[in-house]
């Protein structure tokens, strides 16, 4: 039996170190740890799909939690069943009650396991949806207060004004003016527009 680990974080701003440490404690070799920095809304993830291609009957995949596997109930249940049908064992550190086992003949145990799995997968999906709703509400609230979202807007600086003046007087080219201003082409022309409207 070969043991693998799958680690997923939702975006690049999050940190996978805690999950990596968990897998080290499990004794899983670094080369057998698959790390993904993607949303769990679907299973079209490169590392996850690669792992599915590599595992064989009798192997085990360790997850920190069912939420690391996926966050959509229907698809997560489908993936879970695929592993079971192919004889691949699944271990969930935080939800050991849904770990697969070789004792699949225990009908009652398997039925209870499926119920628990369904409930956990449903909560994972609800949590993802609630997070999206909170994010959208936060954006709307910020906009209502007149707050600018995203990257800070570049303001007109003395360097820009100097470059702009020379450019207007045709002493330098636009490319040179942009270089002196230390801004992008798009930002340069946006600032030009703002300056002309003053």
Please state, in angstroms and rounded to a whole number, the distance separating the CA atoms of residues 170 and 163: 10
Count the neighbouring beta carbons within 10 Å of the beta carbon of residue 81: 12
Q: What share of the chain is helix, strand, coil (3-state, %, to 5)?
A: 55, 10, 35
Measured in degrees and rounded to the nearest 5, phi and psi for residue 161 equal: -60, -40
| Gyration radius of the chain's alpha carbons | 26
Conformational region of residue 68, where left means phi above 0, alpha means psi within -120 to 50, and beta covers everything else? alpha
Dihedral angle at the C-alpha atoms of 23, 21, 42, 141, nearest 10 degrees?
A: 160
The H or E element containing residue 160 is helix 158-168
Please state, in angstroms and rounded to a whole number, the distance separating the CA atoms of residues 69 and 25: 19
| 10 annotated active-site | yes
Please state, in angstroms and rounded to a whole number, the distance separating the CA atoms of residues 1 and 37: 27
Known catalytic residues are 10
């Amino acid at each position: 039996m070969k043991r693998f680990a799958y680690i997923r974080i939702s975006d690049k701003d999050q940190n996978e170190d805690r999950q990596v440490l968990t897998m080290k404690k499990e004794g899983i070799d670094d080369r057998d740890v698959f790390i993904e920095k993607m949303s769990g809304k679907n299973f079209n993830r490169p590392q996850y799909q690669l792992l599915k291609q590599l595992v064989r009957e009798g192997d085990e995949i360790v997850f920190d939690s069912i939420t690391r596997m996926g966050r959509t109930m229907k698809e997560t249940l489908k993936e879970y069943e695929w592993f079971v049908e192919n004889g691949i064992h699944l271990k969930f550190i935080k939800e050991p009650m849904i770990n697969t086992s070789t004792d699949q003949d225990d009908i009652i145990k398997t039925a209870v396991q499926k119920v628990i799995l369904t409930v956990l997968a449903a909560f994972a999906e609800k949590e993802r949806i609630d997070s999206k709703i909170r994010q959208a509400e936060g954006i709307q609230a910020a906009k209502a207060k007149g707050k600018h979202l995203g990257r800070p807007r570049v303001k007109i600086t003395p360097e820009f004004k100097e470059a702009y003046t020379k450019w207007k007087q045709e002493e330098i080219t636009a490319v040179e003016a942009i270089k002196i201003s230390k801004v992008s082409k798009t930002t340069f022309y946006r600032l030009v527009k703002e300056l002309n409207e003053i």
